[in-house]
Structures are given as structure tokens and as C-alpha cells.
Amino acid sequence: MRGDCSGGQGTFHTTHWSVILAARTQDNGTAAREALASLCSAYWFPLYAFIRRNGFAPADAEDLTQEFFYNFLRRDSLLNVNPLAGKFRSYLLGCLKHFLSNQRRDQKIQRRGGGMTILSLDGAAADSLYLREAADNITPEVLFERRWALTVLDQTMEELRREYVRRASGEMFDDLRGFLTSSEASASRAELAKKHGISAGAIDVSIHRLRQRFGALLREQILRTVSSRGEVEEELRYLVSIVGI
């Protein structure tokens, strides 16, 4: 992974990470930083979990996460990111490791920026979620990867839900979402057909469309964090291998 870490819908559009990698001039700086902030907002818990797994107490991990994002979003090192930087999560994790190394060297934990909150973190909820991780012997790196995968899936599901709500089909989405990853759902196809006043065949069509749209949105989510479209399918296979869907 190369880069300077020293400072602490339906179609594929220009991706967040590609916008950031293209920020070679000051003119592109604003767009790149907005894209970077948008990406980072989804990564606070995977990074928090990584810090906790490295032995830091909950309050210290929350402060360190805030301080890391403050440094990461405010520095000028975007201009030094190599265009071949690769996957965003790998670059971000490399920067976090460098940051923690400096923290250990200095042996101080403090939130910078005059108390400014860079991201809204619910410390109690974050630690409750962290403690639900099953394997005590899991490495920080594996935990980070797992949380990254689940975060991507959660973002995709939420985006899909919003699409259905905009079409006044939120109830249908809630009824069908259980069919996305398995054949298990809160009700059978026959029960759902009766509930919505349509045929069982229409329910099957709706499930098929839901799965297709979920897959398309998932690929879009992944595309935002890689350098090129060619990496999407590889990342998708990796994500599936982590979460077992």
C-alpha cells in the first residue's frame, strides 16, 4: 500500500475513492475531501473495533478514533496519495496503524481540534457491539475486515430500503428482505401473497427483483472503495467469504 500517512444509482458513477485519488491539484481538493469525509463516516466502527482489539479501553478507543479522523481529514497528504494506492480500507488501516504507533511512542491519548466532534460516535453502543464479537482470539486485522464487510452490507441494505420507501413500498421491503440471503423469512411466500393481495408468482418476481437490485447496489458500494471497476468482483467474492452469505 502506497501513500503518505505521516500526519497522523443504477449506473456506475465516478467513485469516491477515484475522486480522492484524482485530487492532484488544489482545484480538486474540496471535492476530494468531501468524498473522503463521506467514506470515512462509514468506517468509524471498524476502526474503533481495531483499536479496542489492540488493547485500548473503550473511552480511550473512542478518543483515538476521533483524533485519528481529525488528523486524517484535516491534513494535506491527499496530494501525496499514490494513484496506485489500491483499496481504500487497506490505505485507511495502514494510516491507522501508523497513527497508533505514534500514539504509543508518545504515550498520550487526547482529542484534538478544541473538542470538535469529527464524527458522531455513540461510545456505549459501539462497545456493546464490539463485545458481541464471537472469537476472543480473533486478530485486530481480521476483526477490521469483518466489520468492514458488515458495514458495506448494512449500507447497501439501508440504501435499498430507502428506494422502496420512496416508492411507498416500505412494507413490501420489510416482508421480503429475509429472502435476500436465504430462504428463511418472517412469512412464507403464500402468506405474503395473501397479505399483499397478489399471486405467489408475483411474490417470486418481487423477490427476484429485490435480489437483483441488492446485488447492483452492493457492487456500487464496493466500487466506491476500490481504484477501478476491475476490482469489484474480486472484492465481492472476498466480502462473501468473510460473512458467509
- Per-residue pLDDT 10s for the chain (245 aa) are 444 454 444 444 556 777 666 655 555 567 666 777 777 777 888 999 999 998 888 889 989 998 888 887 776 556 666 656 678 888 888 889 988 988 877 665 554 444 444 455 555 566 666 666 655 678 899 989 998 898 899 989 999 999 999 999 999 999 999 998 765 666 788 999 999 999 999 999 999 999 999 999 999 989 888 877 888 999 999 999 988 76
Tell which phi-psi region holds residue 60, choosing left (phi > 0), alpha (psi between -120 and 50) or beta.
Answer: alpha
Spatial neighbors of 144 by CB under 8 A, at least 6 apart, are: 46, 47, 49, 50, 89, 93
How far the first Cα of the chain sits from its last, in Å, is 28
Measured distance CA(92)–CA(156) in Å, rounded: 21
**Reported pTM:** 0.75
Q: Which of 241, 67, 224 is nearest to 145 (CA)?
A: 241
